[in-house]
Amino acid sequence: MSLQTTFKRVPIGELKLNSVRDAVIVTQHPWFMSLLKEHHLYFFNAELGAITPMQYLLFYETTKDENGVVNENPRHIAHWGKVKEIIYDVRPVDIIHIPELHSMTNELKYWNEIKTWKMNHIVLLEEIGEFKTPLPLEDSYQARYLVNKTTTFPKLRDANTIDKLYKEE
């Protein structure tokens, strides 16, 4: 008896440009930031709903302290990721069928946690970069509303704070 996989792979380069968002802000606690830097992966919890494709992710670093480990740039966006592909509806049992995720399973600090999760949408990143000047968040109350906020390339080009990425002028 074999388990049937349910995940769906969507390469961003094969989509029509008008169906893909420019950039999306996501939050990163230290553990996820480490996973991101080492394996070029981002996980969206599938239980929170579907995500529409995007060209870039912008990583807002939280102030969370995880056993003495903190982000380098709390309350800032210092890193971005160029999206290569989104793999929808991935269960831990499916990961064996996704070669790009195999190296992550060999690291117990990640795999021991991820194998307990239910279903995720996994974003494979082609490249991760760093802004010369990290973008700060002026209105810290807004941090709770940043997840999955969309911005445009013109706003990103002109912004000197995170707040300017999504507020109408």
- Residue 49 is predicted with a pLDDT of 86
Phi and psi, residue 32, nearest 5°: -70, -35
Tens of pLDDT along 126-140?
A: 999 999 999 999 887
Q: Which amino acid is at 149?
A: K
Question: Would you say residue 128 lies in a domain?
Answer: yes
Question: Would you say residue 29 lies in a domain?
Answer: yes
3 state SS of 83: strand
Question: Would you say residue 1 lies in a domain?
Answer: no
Query: How many Cα atoms occupy the beta-carbon half-sphere of 145 within 13 Å?
Result: 10
Tens of pLDDT along 60-79?
A: 999 999 989 999 999 999 99
Average pLDDT, the chain: 92
Dist CA 59 CA 57 (whole Å): 6
Query: How many domains, the chain?
Result: 1
Question: Would you say residue 67 lies in a domain?
Answer: yes
pTM: 0.92
Tell me if 121 sits within 8 A of 146, measured CB to CB: no
Residue 1 has pLDDT above 50, yes or no: no
Question: Would you say residue 52 lies in a domain?
Answer: yes
Q: Any idea what the CATH number is for the domain that residue 148 is in?
A: 2.30.130.30
Question: Would you say residue 149 lies in a domain?
Answer: yes
Alpha-carbon torsion (39, 155, 9, 60), positive or negative: positive
Residue 122 Cα distances to 86, 93, 101, 115, angstroms? 6, 14, 10, 14
Specify the DSSP class assigned to residue 105: H
Look up the domain containing 113 and give its range.
8-158
Question: Would you say residue 34 lies in a domain?
Answer: yes
Residue 10 has pLDDT above 80, yes or no: yes
Question: Would you say residue 127 lies in a domain?
Answer: yes
Residue 141 has pLDDT above 70, yes or no: no
